[in-house]
Amino acid sequence: MDFPQNMSMEEAFALAEAEAKLKQALTESKARFANAVVPNRLNEDWRFGRPHKNAVALAELLQSGTPSQGEAEVSNAGEAAVIITADDDDLRQTEMLMPTIGSDALLGMHLERFGDGYALYIEEDTKEPITISYKTDSLYTPSTFIMVAPGVKAHVIEQYYGCEQGTIFATRNIQVAEGAELKVEMQPYGCARCMVITNIQNMGGKVAHYSHFFACDWAREETVAEIYTPGADVQLFSANNLQLHQVLDQHTRQIHHAGGATSNLLYKNVVDDDATAIFAGNIYVAPGAHQTDAYQTNRNMLLSEKATVHSLPGLEILADKVRCSHGSASAPMDEEQLFYLLSRGIPHDEALALVSHGFLQDVVDKFERS
């Protein structure tokens, strides 16, 4: 390793130690992917996700030789962001170190296709949301990297379009520096299959993350939010309206490596027809991460007797003096609200839509205020 001439001995030792840790982590990641298997019924993180059907079908498509084909575009970035393509060795190493929630084998297959997508380094406040759009009518495996500089306020919208029932398998790395504030929205539309793995690393800033899946036959979202610094804040939101035979499988982890930080999750779904909503979340507070403040809430409204919901929130607390809790509720629509609208002459279908909209709008309003 070559060191700059003006580097002190302490700085040189720190750099050498960091390089050694990175090399060790990459070695462990290679072994992790080599030993990983496609999710099956024995994979606890896919308990209700029908891996024998969904994970296997996605793996077969990724291994079929079908090329990754799609269109990508960034708009409204102006001079606020430095944009580079994702085909970069350092970025590939970043993806290699990404955590998953039971999907190491699938991430390994994504790495074999690595190269599509964008990296944004946002170094000035954004006047308008930066929009990243990915479109495909086949198979597309983009990677997105969002890095926000210290003290910068930014808003990013990511859109995934599965035109003519295309398949999208995306990875997302989000890094927020001290004092930065980031609002990010993730919106998949019309995919036959959509899988998104997100890793949020908060180094002392504020992150508000919102996801909304629209008209996707099957979707799986894995979100790991890691908090490393006291004072950091992560807010996770999701609002979805599921119909027909749609399946939405969401898994989250709020990991507090340091104390004195905050995280909050609010996921809501309206589930109709034969649709299925799955949520499995975990709050992890590391040893010594005292004064942690973390919450997790999952709410589901069922509009059909055939609709299915599985909700599994959880806590793993290894520190003292914390405020951590979780809650889950799934129930039919409030008959009193429906009756109120019907008694005022509003048609039944319109009344159902209004109550459903109000149920989900609560999530959108909280995201906008965050």
Angle at which helices 54-62 and 104-112 cross, to 10°: 20
The token pair that represents 141 in the structure block: 């495996």
Whether residue 370 lies inside any domain: the answer is no
The residue written with tokens 């999907």 in the block is: 103
Q: Report d(CA 255, CA 232) in Å as an integer.
A: 12
**In this predicted structure, what is the pLDDT of residue 302?**
94
Q: Domain containing 234: what range?
A: 16-333
Of the CA atoms within 13 Å of residue 297, those in its CB half-sphere come to 11
The token pair that represents 285 in the structure block: 């507070």
Number of residues assigned to the chain = 370
Q: Report d(CA 191, CA 160) in Å as an integer.
A: 8
Whether residue 292 lies inside any domain: the answer is yes
Alpha-carbon torsion, ordered 14, 232, 255, 28, to 10 deg: -20
Of the CA atoms within 13 Å of residue 336, those in its CB half-sphere come to 0
Do residues 186 and 210 touch, judged by C-beta distance below 8 A? yes
Per-residue pLDDT in tens (0 to 9) along the chain, 370 residues = 454 566 677 766 766 777 788 788 888 888 999 999 999 989 999 999 999 999 999 999 999 988 999 999 999 998 888 888 888 888 999 999 999 999 999 999 999 999 999 999 999 999 999 999 999 999 999 999 999 999 999 999 999 999 988 999 999 999 999 999 999 999 999 999 999 999 999 999 999 999 999 999 999 999 999 999 999 999 999 999 999 999 999 999 999 999 999 999 999 999 999 999 999 999 999 999 999 999 999 999 999 999 999 999 999 999 989 999 999 998 887 777 776 677 777 887 788 788 888 899 999 999 999 8
Q: Report d(CA 106, CA 59) in Å as an integer.
A: 7
Tell whether the torsion through CA atoms of 285, 291, 292 and 298 is positive or negative.
positive
Count how many domains the chain has.
Answer: 1
Whether residue 3 lies inside any domain: the answer is no
209: nearest Cα among 178, 179, 175: 175
**In this predicted structure, what is the pLDDT of residue 1?**
47
Q: Report d(CA 271, CA 331) in Å as an integer.
A: 10
**In this predicted structure, what is the pLDDT of residue 353?**
80
Whether residue 340 lies inside any domain: the answer is no
Whether residue 238 lies inside any domain: the answer is yes
189: nearest Cα among 222, 158, 156: 158
Predicted TM-score of the model (pTM)? 0.93
Whether residue 349 lies inside any domain: the answer is no
**In this predicted structure, what is the pLDDT of residue 11?**
64
293: nearest Cα among 314, 317, 311: 317
Q: Report d(CA 18, CA 25) in Å as an integer.
A: 10
